[in-house]
Structure 1
Amino acid sequence: MTSIPHGTPGHPDPLRALDLARLRRRTSMKWRTYPEDVLPLWVAEMDVPLAEPVVRAVTDALALGDTGYPAGTAYAEALAAFAADRWGWSGIDIARTAIVPDVMLGVVEMLKLVTGPGDPVVVNPPVYPPFFAFLTHLDRRVVENPLDPALRIDPASLEETFRELTADGGRAAYLLCSPHNPGGTVHTAAELATVAALAERYGVRVVADEIHAPLVTPGTAFVPYLSVPGAERGLSLMSASKGWNLPGLKAALALAGPGARADLDRLPEEVGHGPSHLGVIAHTAALREATDWLDALLAGLDANRALLSDLLAAHLPAVRPYPAEATYLAWLDCRALGVGDDPAAAFLERGRVALSSGLPFGTGGAGHARLNLATTPEILTEGVRRMAAAVA
């Protein structure tokens, strides 16, 4: 895949549009979980106004009373056009797509297609905590294969895990987080091709969570898993949810490689009843009409990453941020602070700033915290000030 350059022709930075007073009027999880004296920099919600094309599409639908059940392929067609333009990938076959309620429920449905109760599913910790919760609820056995110290996939370790899990001829799957959350690693084409080759060698089915795909740093190339050689039997989940701040408008797409179409064809019809029709409308509008907004957001996120680095160097030099190539979630190594395995607890109790604890991310999470930098520069600055005060 090649990185396609995009500009921000006059579109204002969405991260500079809202002040704290307006944000505190929101009633979503980010702004209602903690008391008002806590500054929330944790869960993956962005402090931005919605892109105007998305607002217009949803309000037009409401004005029409168009609030029924989802139908058609407009969402898949919009994603295919976005993928071709943004990632130079024309490999989305609309016939090998299905609308699912959201990415994690889509992951569950894909794993139901290729594994059975008690089968192992490999994950790369530290990794998105719902992976553990959803897999356990699904009655699958979570097998950790930790990332290396640079937060990249270790192919030798992955191969050994695949070999052990399939030695008796049993089924296994690999739940790939791409780009990786936390840490923001963007897996390269070579790394993903190695994953595909190993999966084929050992009969492991790959399900890729690619929800953060639109959120790569300028100059970084996102590589869809299904685009690499050997990934023909892979399954992927994509969505506009993270890129355009639409988690409350539920809709995602399951994609199948050419060798996995028969698996996707077994997806129960009722799964398609779960997505929100308004969600499908919103996600379609985002992918089709709000790419200028996305580009302005990406520029703002890049500025916030630089700001966070400067703030930590000035006020918390013992905290090391991992260099991120994607997402708006900064993974912070706080072990040198000497506040124990859960630095987020100290930041919350003593500084009244909420970050995500590293502990639920699995192996490698102790002593770490995840910070959501998709906010205003002023809020980010105040957040780091409070973190520093908490350990002064």
Structure 2
Amino acid sequence: MFTALVIFTIPWQYGPAARLVPVPATAAYLDPMASIQENPGEPNPLRALTLDRLRCRTSMKWRTYPEDVLPVWVAEMDVPLAAPVVRAVTAAMELGDTGYPAGTAYAEALAAFAAKRWGWDGLDPARTAIVPDVMLGVVEMLRLVTGPGDPVVVNSPVYPPFYQFVGHLDRRVVEAPLGVGGRIDLDVLEATFRGLGGVRAGYLLCSPHNPTGTVHTAAELAAVTALAERYGVRVVADEIHAPLTAPGVGFVPYLSVPGADRGLALMSASKAWNLAGLKAALALAGPGAAADLARLPEEVSHGPSHVGVIAHTAALTDGTAWLDALLAGLDENRHLLAGLLDRHLPGIRYQPGEATYLAWLDCRALGLGEDPAEFFLERGRVAVNSGIPFGTGGAGHVRFNLAASPEVITEAVRRMAAALG
């Protein structure tokens, strides 16, 4: 037996004055588990929580700015947890199962998920290692295949911690900017690799790409692999957003690509199931990188949370119906945002991404300078991510978090448009 925290939620709709107003509760919402119960017909979890309930959270998204600011920035989702995760963590709490992580259950769950979801049966739990989270795992993988002062290539604009963590590791970031449509420019990538002069180097691949939401194709990844092998560059792929693809878009794991044997990759359930506070990720090695992974210091495995491992394992094993409901909701939100921008902020260019729950908005035509995020925060009381920390190509852009209710997204765009007068 186990007990669970019960949260009653009331859905919200827009009133005529563009305020969030309560709607009478329906039977589905009176059932405290209706919005997260695991079944084939699960409702959209992005519609399950009220704004007032979300403001009770104490995480970064909800505590960084004053209450009059609408937060659509950092990568946290406005969802209740999937019921299987709640059950698994609650059972662990009641059992006092809060020690150190052990075993390969997480890796086995990810292997089964990858086989079913992506048709990839090459994830061997014997070539995995538990790491605290994806970015700390990236650091450890780069430490295995590069040395102090060595270059690490990234495709800008890209997730800002790539710059921060690589710099703190005493490696040198070298940009190979994305090309047309936010895709990898293979000519630029080759020129960048060639310009390294044959020194030991890494390539930190963001797949799917954050912030553009681009999903690299099998052909693109095969070309990347060929270039990396030609120029002796070791690839480390951050695949944390892999489960978050739009309908009809297939994710290709980097290590599934022929010739990627010497590659390393990092995966986690944290982004897709909103588990960032439950630290646990997996480092994966291709057959040609197994010896590298074997050199990972044993103490790295002490960093992940055992409870995190339990949560991530439950998500991958039993949380796929919840994930599918989330993916459908995110796709609705992509189209919603595109329509809202077209009507109210036509100066913003937005191409809905193929993955992630992040939207990359080109605001340069609005004449707001290099950092429109600052304008929208000060004048509109909307928090979005500034594009500047994403590197070359980021100025004049903002990143908008789509993992919110349609009402919150609508209100955010209303405020942004009103700020422009």
TM range (shorter): over 0.9
> Which residue number in structure 1 is paired with residue 311 of structure 2?
282
For the Cα contact (< 8 Å) 1:322–1:333, is it kept in 2?
A: no
Q: Secondary structure at the match of 1:121?
A: strand
Amino acid at match of 1:118: G
Q: Could you list the runs of 5+ residues in structure 2 that have no partner in the other structure?
A: 1-38
Q: Does 1:244 align with 2:273?
A: yes
> Which residue number in structure 2 is paired with residue 4 of structure 1?
none
> Which residue number in structure 2 is paired with residue 160 of structure 1?
191
> Which residue number in structure 2 is paired with residue 322 of structure 1?
351
Give the C-alpha shift of residue 137 in structure 1: 0.3
Q: Could you list the runs of 5+ residues in structure 1 that have no partner in the other structure?
A: 1-7
Give the C-alpha shift of residue 160 in structure 1: 1.0
**Residue of structure 2 aligned with 1:83, choices 114, 123, 136:** 114
Give the C-alpha shift of residue 390 in structure 1: 1.2
**Residue of structure 1 aligned with 2:182, choices 151, 154, 159:** 151
Cα deviation, 1:107-150, whole Å, max 9, x if unaligned, reads: 00000000000000000000000000000000000000100131
CA RMSD of aligned residues (A): 0.9
> Which residue number in structure 2 is paired with residue 68 of structure 1?
99
Amino acid at match of 2:397: H
Percent of paired sites with the same residue: 79
> Which residue number in structure 2 is paired with residue 222 of structure 1?
251
Q: Does 1:13 align with 2:39?
A: no
For the Cα contact (< 8 Å) 2:335–2:352, is it kept in 1?
A: no
Q: Does 1:114 align with 2:173?
A: no
**Residue of structure 1 aligned with 2:125, choices 86, 89, 94:** 94
Aligned pairs (5 A) from 1:1-392: 9-165=40-196, 167=197, 169-392=198-421
When normalised by structure 2's length, the TM-score is 0.90
Cα deviation, 1:238-295, whole Å, max 9, x if unaligned, reads: 0000000000000000000000000000000000000000000000000000000000
Amino acid at match of 1:295: D
Give the C-alpha shift of residue 322 in structure 1: 2.3
Amino acid at match of 1:304: N
Distance of 1:10 and 1:163 partners within structure 2: 52
Q: Secondary structure at the match of 2:77?
A: coil
Q: Secondary structure at the match of 1:55?
A: helix
- From the CA coordinates, give the structure whose radius of gyration is larger: 2
> Which residue number in structure 2 is paired with residue 3 of structure 1?
none
When normalised by structure 1's length, the TM-score is 0.97
Distance of 2:419 and 2:221 partners within structure 1: 41
Q: Secondary structure at the match of 1:191?
A: helix
Distance of 1:201 and 1:115 partners within structure 2: 17
Give the C-alpha shift of residue 9 in structure 1: 2.8
Distance of 2:226 and 2:335 partners within structure 1: 37
| Count of aligned residue pairs for this structure pair | 384
Distance of 1:230 and 1:346 partners within structure 2: 47
Q: Which has the higher contact order (CA 8 A, sep 6+)?
A: 1
Distance of 1:260 and 1:31 partners within structure 2: 40
Q: Secondary structure at the match of 1:99?
A: strand
Moved over 2 A (4+): none
